[in-house]
Amino acid sequence: MLDINQNFLKLPGNYLFSTIAQKVAEFSAAHPQQTLLRLGIGDVTQPLVPAVIDALHAAVTEMGDAATFHGYPPDQGYEFLRSAMAEHDFASRGCDISADEVFISDGAKSDSGNLQEIFGPTARIAVCDPVYPVYVDSNAMAGRAGTFNENTGTWTDLIYLPCRAATGFAPELPTVTPDVIYLCFPNNPTGATVTRDELQRWVDYANRLGAVIVYDAAYEAFITEADVPHSIFECDGARTCAIELRSFSKTAGFTGLRLGATIIPRDLTRGGVTLHSLWARRQGTKFNGAPYIVQRAGEAVYSEAGRQQTAAQVAYYLDNATMIREGMSGLGYEVFGGINAPYVWVTAPAGMTSWAFFNHLLENAGVVSTPGSGFGPHGEGYLRLTAFGARESTEEAMTRIANV
């Protein structure tokens, strides 16, 4: 009889967003007259920009003609997109990354989950707390997290990097030596960032100990401040210790199209092997490439018009973030994030847990949020609000919260 992967059985309860969906469904059933405003899940609401739509149409036309039809894409991605990324995301910021170090994918979620396949089974994993849950759960599925302790909300074998208000929700260097460190800035869920100097400390630390940093830059397009790095490769020495994840989801509204990339410098070696070659082998075996039309759409993001239009869309969401930040702050709430990120992290009123604060906003304002405790124990006492709504619903949500 088949022995299933027992690690799956160690995963706790429901996925956070399923639990929220269930609570919201129950509330809606009990209060059918109440319209809900969703400031919870981090999905975008604005349509794809015209430059992307034009590129999609053109690519679809190509696919309908035998002379220009495209079958299986190269599993590392088309050269036209890898070159556009190398030029605009890296060379333009002084980062030494070549097109053949870019692996195109169907998004950063799958890459962040799959990437751990190239790490050994006993690799010690460090994650921030609170954290984007995929890093934790994918390592738990592979048996690297140990067992989940329901009382503490932590896994026995993970190294947690607590992120607290006192440090602006930036993690501190661990006291136990990790092999892999997941970092994400601008951060989901806290909206926090680190400066270039702070990130350099992590790069120096990883190089000193031989650790590898998996740097999730999914929200880099939201950076507004000059000393916040857009890529870990802006730091000296990152080529020998870092892998970067990129996503088109929030940058250009591709959550429904699906496109991302993982950057692995050829200088990154462990055990005498380049991680680039391992990932190339993994992708070559298990991934058949992102669709041609989507990669053409991705290329259009880097055109003159695409860059202007997507920047305007990011600015639209950042205006929402400002509205949420200032609105909540004006009501006396303590707020973080929302300046270089589409997420605003709000401290729950004294004595309220994350879930109590979530229920309070749902029941009294019809506003759906995300309880901070769902992202890890250090998220307890906080709530995440997202700026991805339409302007009118964000305004309406703020008015309703003010009237609670």
Ligand X SMILES: Cc1ncc(COP(=O)(O)O)c(C=O)c1O
- Rule CB under 6 A: which residues touch ligand X? 42, 107-109, 112, 132, 184, 188, 216, 218, 247, 249, 255, 260
Of 15 and 69, the one with the shorter C-beta distance to ligand X is: 15
We find the least distance from the C-beta atom of residue 259 to ligand X, in angstroms, to be 7
| In the complex, minimum distance from the CB of residue 106 to ligand X, in angstroms, rounded to a whole number | 8
3-state secondary structure the chain: CCCCCHHHHHCCCCCHHHHHHHHHHHHHHHCCCCCCEECCCCCCCCCCCHHHHHHHHHHHHHHCCCCCCCCCCCCCCCHHHHHHHHHHHHHHHCCCCCHHHEEEECCHHHHHHHHHHHCCCCCCEEEEECCCHHHHHHHHHCCCCCCEECCCCEECCCEEEECCHHHCCCCCCCCCCCCEEEEECCCCCCCCCCCHHHHHHHHHHHHHHCCEEEEECCCHHHCCCCCCCCCHHHCCCHHHCEEEEEECHHHHCCCCCCCEEEECCCCCEECCEEHHHHHHHHHHHHCCCCCHHHHHHHHHHCCHHHHHHHHHHHHHHHHHHHHHHHHHHHCCCCEEECCCCCEEEEECCCCCCHHHHHHHHHHHHCEECEEHHHHCHHHCCEEEEECCCCHHHHHHHHHHHHCC
| Shortest CB 148 distance to ligand X, Å | 21
Q: Which is nearer to ligand X, 81 or 218 (CB)?
A: 218
Smallest gap, in angstroms, from Cβ of residue 210 to ligand X? Answer: 25
CB of 273 to ligand X, least distance (A): 26
Minimum CB distance to ligand X smaller for 207 or for 262:
262
CB of 68 to ligand X, least distance (A): 28
Q: Give me the least distance between CB of 42 and ligand X, in Å please.
A: 4
Looking at beta carbons only, is 132 or 292 nearer to ligand X?
Answer: 132
- The smaller minimum CB distance to ligand X, of residues 84 and 131, is found at 131
